[in-house]
Chains A and B, each alone.
Chain A
Amino acid sequence: MPEKVIEIKHLKKAFGDNDVLKDIDFSISKGETVSIIGSSGSGKSTLLRCVNLLETPTGGEILFHGENIQTELDVSQYRARVGMVFQSFNLFDNLNALQNCIIGQTTVLGRDKGAAKAKAMEYLEKVGMTPYINAKPRQLSGGQKQRVAIARALAMDPEVILFDEPTSALDPEMVGEVLSVMKRLSESGMTMMVVTHEMAFARDVSDRVVFMNDGYICEQGTPADVFGNPKREETKNFLSRFLNQ
């Protein structure tokens, strides 16, 4: 059994009276790629944002290598080890692609400029963005921005990367370039939690698929099980709606 990187126990999150996450138990092992699917409002993104503490959980606990991320770890150092890629890219508009990948390394990890630049170049090359290192975010297409955002996350040498609907804001022809970067990343052994509406990605790339419904994890298993032989009624409904559109 590979080591568990993140373990979530009885996680709850409410916004006022609105219980978004009701009782989540979940864990992810080293090198695993887990896709989280489910309809809008089922709590997928909130779950991911709680893992990175962009939202503060209202109950339960999240463990990183067995340590509670809220009480036992320094938030800043923890976040540096858990990367995040957003639906809306969230690049820094005043910095070019290269600087976007350097700033976190120098300010958070304390790397010197030269080492940070070398690291940034390495990952920008991996996502095929070397030609655009001097471009500001506003000069890039959506797919290019998202690839820079992935390089920015990778440059911190994280142990896990969380993807929050990374292709939902992209034009259809740009979805492919981002998914192929993610596929290579998954094959290279990165631990990934991916909230997605790309069923093909969930089916073909992930090791495990989690179906969320109404603040609970409704069903999970291998892609073959969840897509080929869903057991729960909600899962069947969701998949039939998705595959028939």
Chain B
Amino acid sequence: MPLFNDISKVWTKYGNQIVSGIWNTVLISIAGTLIGLIIGLFNGIIRTMPKPKNIILRAIMRVVNWIINAYVEVFRGTPMMVQAMIIYWGYAYLSGGDSLPLIPAGIAIVSINTGAYITEIVRGGIISIDRGQFEGAMSIGMSHFSTMLHIIIPQVMRNILPAVSNEFVVNIKDTSVLNVIGVTELYFYAQSAARNSYKIFASYLIACAIYFCLTFTITRILRFIEKKLEGRGNYTIFGSQSDSTAEIRVSEEEEPVNA
């Protein structure tokens, strides 16, 4: 079949390039999602802080919140492709002709963009935790910071994992827009293979299959991690209520209660 022929020709000639493109795509999307998650956690935690009593602190908080809001609105409200152009060429313009190193620039653009979305995801995750747990922590004197660290954030992380996984999958696909500034990711090489070999359909078919394999594998891995984080449904009972010397162990697997 001519199509298979085309595919194998493209692969033989441009396979090495395409594989290096895969690595860059994976690198940029993993780093971008992780850094975006850190940005998002930071912003989400700040945005849900209780109002300080001190007037000066309150004013500072108001300014910080305004900045975070502006950041979220601007980066959620404009296309990443345009952001990439503006950051890359903006830097070149302002620095008088210097250009940003491409892979770090790509990671920065994806991180900033993802951070804007994850800020809102984290805020939602925090306010969805029942107010009672904050009060329980307050009632034994825990500070807002240690309540967040030990009680709230561990639960938030578990709850937002599906949404963050989603961002990760979106990032794998959306790194393709970084080709506009010349980042050598998967799409960049697929495009160059198509241009050089004139086998356009075959080249993009290869890219499509690889993108799908990447997102599918990563979805499965994250699903697995989610299951692990859910914890075991069972627990070990020590002793018995009537006989303090007895030790009973319950080990049969139960369905997780709030799966």
Interface residues of A (CB under 8 A from B): 52, 54, 75-80, 83-84, 86, 88-96, 103-104, 107-108, 128, 130-136, 138-139, 149, 152-153, 156
B102 CB–A CB distance under 8 Å = no
A142 to B143, CA, bound (A): 27
Q: Which residues of A contact B239 (CB under 8 A)?
A: 130-131
**Contact in complex: A91, B136 (CB < 8 Å):** yes
**Contact in complex: A138, B136 (CB < 8 Å):** no
Residue of B nearest to A87 (CB): B132
Q: Which residues of B contact A96 (CB under 8 A)?
A: 235
B139 CB–A CB distance under 8 Å = yes
| Nearest CB of chain A from residue B150's CB, rounded to whole Å | 6
Q: Which residues of B contact A104 (CB under 8 A)?
A: 137, 140-142
**Contact in complex: B135, A86 (CB < 8 Å):** yes
Given contacts A92-B137, A108-B142, 17 further A-B contacts (CB under 8 A): A54-B139, A78-B141, A79-B140, A80-B141, A90-B133, A92-B133, A92-B136, A95-B150, A107-B150, A108-B140, A131-B237, A131-B239, A133-B238, A134-B235, A134-B237, A136-B231, A156-B140
**Contact in complex: B136, A131 (CB < 8 Å):** no
A75 to B50, CA, bound (A): 15
Residue of B nearest to A85 (CB): B139
**Contact in complex: A156, B133 (CB < 8 Å):** no
**Contact in complex: A83, B137 (CB < 8 Å):** no
0/1 per residue, B134-175, Cβ < 8 Å to A? 011111111100100011001100100000000000000000
Secondary structure at chain B's binding surface: helix, strand, loop or mixed? loop
Q: Which residues of A contact B133 (CB under 8 A)?
A: 90-93
A131 to B241, CA, bound (A): 7
Residue among B135, B139, B143, B146 with most chain A CB within 10 A:
B139
| Nearest CB of chain A from residue B128's CB, rounded to whole Å | 12
Also in contact, A156 and B141, with CB within 8 A (given A134-B236, A136-B235):
yes
A154 to B163, CA, bound (A): 39
Q: Which residues of B contact A78 (CB under 8 A)?
A: 141
**Contact in complex: B135, A130 (CB < 8 Å):** no
| Nearest CB of chain B from residue A100's CB, rounded to whole Å | 9
A7 to B154, CA, bound (A): 39
B interface residues, how many (CB within 8 angstroms): 30
**Contact in complex: B238, A130 (CB < 8 Å):** yes
| Nearest CB of chain A from residue B236's CB, rounded to whole Å | 5
**Contact in complex: A132, B237 (CB < 8 Å):** yes
0/1 per residue, B202-235, Cβ < 8 Å to A? 0000000000000000000000000000010101
A204 to B213, CA, bound (A): 70
**Contact in complex: B135, A54 (CB < 8 Å):** yes
A76 to B144, CA, bound (A): 10
**Contact in complex: B135, A103 (CB < 8 Å):** no
Q: Which residues of A contact B54 (CB under 8 A)?
A: none
Residue of B nearest to A52 (CB): B139
- 15 A-B residue pairs with CB within 8 Å: A76-B143, A90-B139, A92-B136, A92-B151, A93-B155, A103-B142, A103-B150, A104-B141, A108-B141, A131-B240, A132-B235, A134-B235, A134-B236, A152-B136, A152-B140
Q: Which 6 A-B residue pairs are closest in the complex by CB-CB distance? A: A90-B136, A80-B141, A104-B140, A84-B139, A90-B132, A79-B141
